[in-house]
Amino acid sequence: MTAALNPKFSFDSYVVGAANRLAVTAGRTVAENPGSAYNPLFIYSGSGLGKTHLLMAIGHAAKRAAPNLSVEYLTLDEYVEAFHAAIAAGQGDAFRRRFQSVDMLLVDDVQFLTNRKEMQSELLRLTEALQGAGHQIVLASDRPPAEIADLDERLISRFSGGLVVDMGIPDYETRVAILRKKAEERATSFQSGVLETVAGVEFANVRELMGALNRLIAFQAVNDAPITEAAARQVLGIAARGEGAEPAAAPAPAPDEFSTFLSDVTATVGRAVEAWRARVSEAILRWEGEGFRTKRLEALLAQETPGAVDQVISGFVKDVERLKVLAAEVQMLDPQAAGDSVFRDPERLDEAEKVAVRVREGAAPPPGPSAAFPLATFAAGPSNEKELAAIREVIASPGKKFNPLVLVGASGSGKTHLLNAIGLELAGRSRAVVACLSTQAFIDEVIAAIEGDRVDWWRARYRRATALLLDDVHLLAGKDRTQEELFNLFNVLQDKDRQLVFTAPSPPNTLEGLEERIQSRLAGGLVVTFTEPDRVVRRAVLERNLGKVEVALLDYLADRPATSIRAMLAELQRVKDAADAQSQPLTAGLARVVLEGEAPPRRRTSGFRTSGIVVSSAGGVRSREKMVWEWPVPADRMLEDLR
Amino acid sequence: MSLVNFTTREITCKIVYYGPGRSGKTSNLHYIYGRVPEARRGRMVSLATQTDRTLFFDFLPIDLGSISGFTTRFQLYTVPGQVYYNATRRLVLQGADGVVFVADSQGRQLDENLESLQNLHANLLDQGVDVRAMPLVLQYNKQDLPKELVLTPAEMDDALNFRAVPSFPADALHGTGVFESLKGISELVLKRLAQGAPA
């Protein structure tokens, strides 16, 4: 039911002249900024002067600028018909919804609203709904709103509220340009002077002009010979007068004196205002319409000669484009800062850049995961198999499977490592903004935001995160404001299926000082508990940390029980330090010495010999050796004496 | 006087029809009024207030729409021709961008024509306007009257057109020469745009 946009009717094929320049400029602006520049845009002109063409060109241009934009073109009659059909089918509401969801509505022939009261109120409702939603409306009519008979006052004011532009009859030069373009489209060429002769006739509209051109093309095709100027005049019935006289100068016996005057003045102004000034004026009109300051261009108009006008305009456009990019970026980071007037003033581009840098730094995405903890280096073993499987599922489909994910485990059990690892994996996705930080840092940020009076900004910064990972969530205890913020952030992110991951030393419902609403939300996801690392895990971690060392050392260290990886690594560090201090290689023996007892004083080491018995550190024998080494010095000496 | 306002992108031409009483200035405006489409013209105002200071002039605004990106408006004024309305004439003349001097072609009106032309020069000088810089065209009206009563355009030129400005024979009642004069003065006025005239 909706007419498709005719691909032939684009801006490229639209001939712009003095009579329609304003309308075309406004149309272009609207197509590039639907809903924001002039809304509604009301175009009126006599029949056959290009309203439909312009409407469709706007539709095309808008589509090209934003392919996802839904653009509807229809004539008022079609709209009325569709409405009646919908009402007859009892689908009135569906009809309204359909049109209210259109991004850009192009309505042709609005003048037919005359005497259609119910349609007027329908259109009024639609206009209000579309305007309210920031959707663009473009209307075309053969007369201005106020002159459409019997039109509702409210509609008149709505229609006039945006921009009302008219298009006049094209002047001679434009007529020639139109004829040339059309002849080119038809791949027809004429002898010089023929088209000018046709253009010399003051047709009431472009359609008649096209009719004349068609007659010439047909004539030329039939006669199989190029038509001459005189023949053209004959074909078009303008031969009788003009014979001998210049054909273009005296087109009609009783010309409309005002029209002649108007086109004369237009030509004079055109000459006077010179093409470059017109270009500058157009640029000003356009960018001003978009809300940019055009001081630089206005300064151009004050100069006497064109100079480097084009460079200035293109430079200006470049600056404006840059401003647009900056503003869009800042808008995402800090909506408040985007309202800054520097983003509307190309003369202050430098300042805008600075603001953007500031915002970027300030809103540099919330702290991300540390690259030091890749998932690959997390040692897997029987003790954490299931937990890791769950985490992999979260990484595979963040936000969908287990949300939130809570990692519970004793201190040093690798929660932080895993949290960062998950963060890294999630950050690897395209367009991911992963917030991964300790709860303490989170609290500090809230405080700083409150202090700096930019809580909104802070919120916006976190709300655009595609995943939020908080380490040690139990630290929120007693921090009411942060809990409040987290609660809200939690809801926003979860609603958008963004992944949330937390770590805590004990299951959420046992965490003290946390509001129940947070506890319950944490418990509502998947709680994964990490137990003490098993031997496989310990050995894997050691191997990675030590590299190439003797197997006995690895086994010895792996065999030692450890409540957590961190505790084990602390032991390892002690051994390493000792080895460094004594400039000895890392061996199982040294480790044992370091870990299981004070190294014997140097004076006693000269004659010291180990028993040669290698026992598991987990075994009961350990205590015997330990006992021996822990003998008090006198007894020690006695034993030595005995030997 | 703001002929061209680049900031608001407007061209406003104030054109004053000057000349002795009953030479046909108002006829010019009436004829134009009748030819301008309704949408383009404003209300024609004829003011007549009889108090101490007499205000008496015609005013016709014409909206030419957007030309080369400029909203173009013409404001046509007539001055009262009678000698004793000089205060009004000076008021109307203020800020004029161009003057159409409507002369009565009848031979016996030649003195009135000269007097009025001198009055124009004097008033302009009073306002500090260089007479030579002010766009001016002459219209020799009432050329439709019997030949024995009127001077020919050539004779009129000899008598009035010292500075060889464009001149147009006219019959304002029937429209001959009216738009030609308007066009002539428009061209002179607008030409000043190209010369980087006052903004």
Per-residue model confidence as pLDDT tens digits over A424-458: 888 888 778 888 888 888 888 888 888 877 777 78
Q: Which residues contact A181 (CB under 8 A, 6 or more apart)?
A: A13, A15
Judge whether A388 is closer than 8 Å to chain B, CB to CB.
no
Domain that residue B116 falls in: 4-194
Nearest-Å Rg of the Cα atoms of chain B is 16
pLDDT-derived band of residue B98, with 50, 70 and 90 as boundaries?
very high
pLDDT, one tens digit per residue, over B13-29 is: 899 999 998 888 888 98
Q: How many domains does chain B have?
A: 1
Q: Is A267 on the interface with B (CB under 8 A)?
A: no
Beta bridge partners of B140: B103, B169
pLDDT at residue A48 tops 50: yes
Q: Tell me: domain A11-167, CATH 3.40.50.300, correct?
A: yes
The whole-angstrom separation of Cα A52 and Cα A538 is: 77
Q: For domain A172-250, is the CATH number 1.10.8.60? A: yes
Q: Which of A204-218, A362-376, A568-582, B173-187 has the highest mean pLDDT?
A: B173-187
- Give yes or no for A589 touching B (CB within 8 A): no
A509: tokens are 């419902």
**Is residue B199 in some structural domain?**
no
Best mutation target among B4, B6, B192, B195 (most A Cβ atoms within 10 Å) is B6
Contact A586, A546 (CB under 8 A): yes
What 3-state DSSP class applies to A503? strand
The CA-based angle A466-A468-A471, given to 5 degrees, is: 160
Furthest-apart CA atoms within chain B: distance in Å: 54
pLDDT of residue A218: 76
- For position B143, what pLDDT does the model report? 93
- pLDDT class of A214 with cuts at 50, 70, 90: confident
Per-residue pLDDT at A10 exceeds 80: yes
Q: For residue B157, give the CATH number of its domain.
A: 3.40.50.300
Question: For residues A118 and A121, what is the distance between their CA atoms, to the nearest angstrom?
Answer: 5
The model's pTM: 0.36
| Assigned token pair, A251 | 């087109």
Q: Which residue is closest to A144 within chain B, CA to CA?
A: B39
Instruction: Assess A273–B contact: CB distance below 8 Å, yes or no.
Output: yes
Helices (H), A5-116: 21-32, 51-65, 76-88, 92-100
> Which of 286-315 (A) contact B at CB < 8 A?
298, 301-302, 304
Residue-wise DSSP of chain B = --SEETTTTEEEEEEEEE-STTSSHHHHHHHHHHHS-GGGB---EEEEE-SSS-EEEEEEEEEEEEETTEEEEEEEEE---SGGGHHHHHHHHTT-SEEEEEEE-BGGGHHHHHHHHHHHHHHHHHTT--GGGS-EEEEEE-TTS-TTTB--HHHHHHHH-TT---EEE-BTTTTBTHHHHHHHHHHHHHHHHHTT---
Average pLDDT (A501-517) is 86
Contact predicate B117/B79, CB 8 Å: no
In a mutational test of the A interface, the residue from B11, B66, B74, B185 whose CB has the highest number of chain A CBs within 10 Å is: B66
Measured CB to CB, residues of chain B less than 8 Å from chain A are 6-7, 9, 11, 32, 35-37, 39-40, 64-70, 72, 175, 178-179, 182-183, 186-187, 190-194, 196, 199
Residues of chain A with CATH 3.40.50.300: 11-167, 375-530
Return the H-helix or E-strand segment holding A284: helix A274-289
Question: Angle between the A309-333 and A274-289 helix axes, to the nearest 10 degrees?
Answer: 10
What is the C-alpha to C-alpha distance for residues A405 and A423, in angstroms, rounded to an integer?
Answer: 12
Q: Tally Cβ neighbours within 10 Å of residue A103.
A: 19
Report whether pLDDT(A619) > 50: no
Residue range A375-530 forms a domain whose CATH class is: alpha beta
**Cβ neighbours of A128 (radius 10 Å):** 13
Q: What is the mean pLDDT of residues A526-543?
A: 82
Would B80 be classed as within a structural domain? yes
